[in-house]
Structure 1
Amino acid sequence: MSHWQLLELTPGADERSIKRAYARLLKVHRPDEDPAAFQRLREAYEASLADARWRAQDDEEEVALAVVEDQPAIETATQVAPMAREEHAALTPAAWEEIPLAASPPEPSLAVMQQWLAQGKEAEVLDALRQWLASDWLLRFERRQEFEQHVLQWLESAPQWSLAFFERACQVMGWSEAQDDLPCEYRRWEGLIQRCERQALQERVSADLAGYDDDKRLGQVAALLFKPLTDRRRREIADGFSGHDWQRFSELAESIEHQNRDLPKRLGLQPLDNWRDWLPASSFKGLYGFLWFALALLVGYSLLDHPQRVDGLAAALAVLIFIPGAMYLGNTVYRFWSMVAVSAVSLDIRLSQLLVPPRWYRRGAGLLLLRQIVPAIVPAIYAAVWSRSVPGLRWLSPLLVYLGTLYFTHVALSGGKPSIWNRAARATKGQMARLPWRGLWQGALICLAGLAMGFYLYVHSRLKG
C-alpha cells in the first residue's frame, strides 16, 4: 500500500489536503493506542508532504521560466502570483489554524501532572498523558514537541519514579530507542537510561533483601553485602556460594563502590566495608611454590650434608621429584580436612575469634584456626623430619616453613587485594614490556643449564667423597 492510499488521497493532492487528511486520520490512529499504525501514518504523511512540496517547487520554476521566455505572459503570471502566495502560506504553521482544534489545553494541567509525578502518583500521570495525547490540542506539531519537552523535564527533575512507569510512559509517548524515535539528543537520553539502570539495581537489591528476610536461602548475595550478619552466618553464606554467586557479589559490590555510591543511603543500609576479603582465593600458586622451594632446599641440604643417607645421585633426584607428589597428596588430604572444618564452622569461628590475630582473622574472611592454621603444621613437621640431624636447622626450619605457609595462605585468601608481589609486578610492567625477552630467555636457559651442570658435579663429588 502506497503512502497516498494510507492517507486516502490521490497522488496529485496538494499540501493542504495532505495536512487535513493527516489531522483527520490522527484521531483514528492514536499513538497511545496503536503506535505501529501511528508510525506508518506519520511516515506516509512525511512522504506525501515531501512529494507535494517538490511538485510545488517544480511548478514555481516552470512559471518563472515561462515569464522569462514570454514577456506577454506577465499579466497571466501576475494573476497566478496570489495563488502561489496562498500555496506558500500553506507551508507555514499558520495553515493549521484552519483545522478545527480545541480552544484550550485539556485537564489536568501540566503543573498538576508534574506535581503528581513528584508525589509518586504514577498511575494518575499515565492517565493524564493519555488524555492529552487523545485531545485535539496536540494536533499541532509545535504543541506536541513542547509537550514532549515538558514530560522529558519532569522525568529528569522528579526525585524518584519506578522503572515500570518509565517504560509505560515511553510507550504512551511513542518514544523508542530501537526505532530511533527520541524526544532529545542521545546524550540527554543516555542520562535517563543510566537513571533507569540505577533504579533497576535499587529495586533488585530491595527485592533480594526482602526475599532473604522471608527465606534465608534467597537473596544471599545482597544479604552478604548489606545485612548486619554475624561472622558465623556470613561465613556460612560464603561457604555455600558458587562461582556464579561470587561473580554477582563482586559485580554488585563494584557497582556500589564506583557507580551507585548513593544507593546504600537511599535504602538506609551500610555495605560491608571489607567485601574484598570475602572473595575466594584466586590462586594458591604462591603457596605451592614456597612449599616446593623450601622443602626441596631442606631435602637437598640434608642430603649434601649427610651423603651416606642415599646411594648415588639418582636417589637424591628421586627425592626432589617426589616432593611435588607429596604436595599433591597433602592437598588431597587437606580437601577432606576442609570439609570437616566447614561442618564445624561455628566452633572454628569461636576459636579463631579468641586465638587468631584480628589482622589475619579479618572477621571470618581470613585465616581460621581449624581450616588453615592447624593444617599448616603438616609441612612444618615434614621440614622438622628432614632437618632434625642438622644442628643449625633443627628448630629454625620448621618455624620458617610454618610461618611461610601461613603468610602465603593469608595472601591467597586476600581475594581482591593485590599482594606485594602483584603490586611490584604492576609497577615494573611498563619497563619490562620494553625488554628484549627473546634474548633474555636464551640467556636464562644457558644460565640454568650451567647451574644444573655445576650442581650435578658438586653433588657427584660429595657423594663419592
Structure 2
Amino acid sequence: MVSTFDCWEVLGLPAGSDERSIKRQYARQLKTTRPDEDPVAFQRLREAYEQALQIMRDGGLDESEQAAADFMAEPFVVRSHPHEPLNPTPSPYEQAVELLSGFDDADVEQYWDKASAKGCGPEFERLLFQRCADHPEAHTALLTWGLEKRQWLTPWQQIIGGEFQQQRLAFALTTVLYNRLDQHMAAGEDAYFFDCLEQHSRQGWLSDFSRRQALQVHVLNLFLNTESWSPALFQRVCQLFGWDDEAAVVPIADKSWQYLRRRCEQQAWLNELRSLMQLREQQPSARANAATLFLLCTAPAQQAQLAADFGEEDWHACEQLSGIFASQYPDLLGIFPNHNPRFWEALVVHKAPPYGLKRSACVITLGLILNSMDQPDFMFTVTIILLPLYIAGGVLAAYVGKWLLTHWASLTQYLYDVDLQISLWCVRHKLIKDRRYLVIRNSGGYLALGFLIWKLLGILGLATYVLTGAIGLLRFTGSAPTDRQYRWRKPLQAIYRIAGLSPLQWLFGVSMLCVIGYVQLHMPGTVLTKS
C-alpha cells in the first residue's frame, strides 16, 4: 500500500492539494501510464489517486502530517559517510512486486506464506487481485484460492478493490457458473446440476443479494425453458433456496411460478405412470395395464394388441385415469388423440361369448334328442345309432343361427351407445363380467336359442335354460381349467372348459335333463314339454 506522503510524490502534487487538482493530475498521468504497458506502475498510480482522494474527504492533513509534509518539501541533502554503505531496505510494495515476478498460480499457497513472512501480505494480495481482475479466465485456480481463502468479493475482503474490478470478477464467475448449469441441465445430469448449484451457493461471493437473486432467476429460467426435468430436482432446488415455504418470495412472476409448480406435479404424475409401466411384468395390475395403454398413444398397434386382453378391472382403471387427467392435469391432454382422455373407449370392441357356436350346437343337439323321446316307438338303441344325425342337425342349426346373428349385429350398430351404457350398468351391478359383452347385441343369440328350446322342450326346457344362466350370475368358481392344453390331454376337463359352467350349474342342468327325459318317456304330450 502507498504511504501518505508517497501518494503526493507519485501524483507529482504538493501535499494537501484539492480534489480538482488531484483528478486533473491523475488524468494527465494516465496518458503515459497504461495498465497494458506497465501494470505495476498503473497499480501504484491508482493506489496513490484513491489514497489522495480519501485524505481530502477525511478533512485533509492534521498538524503533524502537515509539518512532516512541509519538512519533506524543503531542500534535502543526503550526506553519505564514506565508511557507511548505502543499502536502503525495499518497501513492502517492491517486495510484493519481486515475488510476483516468478509467480505460478499452482503454488499460490507457498508464495502467500513468503509474502506473509516478509510483511508484504496486503500488497501482494492486492497485486494478485489485480492479476485476476485483468485476466479472470486465465487465472481460475488463483481466483478460486482468493474466494475460498481470502473471502474476495465478500464483506470480509481485507483489501480495497475498485468497483469495476469487483464487477468484472463477479461477471467472470457467474458466466462460468451459468455455463456449467446450462450444460448439466441440457444433458439431463440432475445430480451434477444440483451438486454444482449447492456448492456455489455456499460460497461467500454469492451472499450478495443481487448476485444471489440473479442466480435464482437464471435457475428458474432454466426450468422454464427446458422441456424435460425431474420433479425431484425441482423439489431439491426449492428446498435449497427456501421456495418450498408457502410464504417464500420467488424472484419471477407469480404466473410463471405457478406454471413451474404445475409442471412439477405433471412430471411427477407421468413418472408414476412410467414406473407402473416398467414394473408391469414383475407386478401386474389393472392400474399398470391402464398406465401402459395411456403411455402408448404414439403406438396405436401396440395399444390395440394390449387392449384385446383387457378385462373389466382394466377398463375401470382406464376410467379412473381419464378422470384424473381431465380434472387434475388438463395441460397433459395434448398427448392423447384429439385431446380426449377417453380415447380408449374406441378400443372397447365387441367380444362375443366364448365357445358360443359349440355351446349352441350342444344345447340344440340335446334338445332334438329329448324332443324325440316322447314318440311311441322311441328306442335308446335307435337314438344312439342316429346320434350323428342329431349332432349334425344341432351343428347345422348353430351355423344358421350364426349367419342370422350377423344381420342382427348390423342392426345393433345403430344402438351402440345405448348398448354400451346398458352394458356398463350391468357391469356395475355384477350382472355381466365385461363391458365388451354388449347386452343388446349378444341378447339376440340368447333369445333365439331360448325360443328354439321352448319350441323343442316347452316350459320345462325354457325354465332349465333360464335358471342355469341365472345360477351363473352367482359367480361360483367354475371347474374348468385355465390351461388350454387340457383340451387334448384330458377331454373331460376340456368339456368343462368349453361349457364354462360352475359345479352348481352342472348339478342343476343334469338334474333337469333327467327330469325332462322322465317326463318325455312317462308323460308324453304334457304341457310341460310342449310349446
Please, what TM-score do these two structures have when normalized by structure 1?
A: 0.38
Q: Which has the higher contact order (CA 8 A, sep 6+)?
A: 1
Please, what TM-score do these two structures have when normalized by structure 2?
A: 0.34
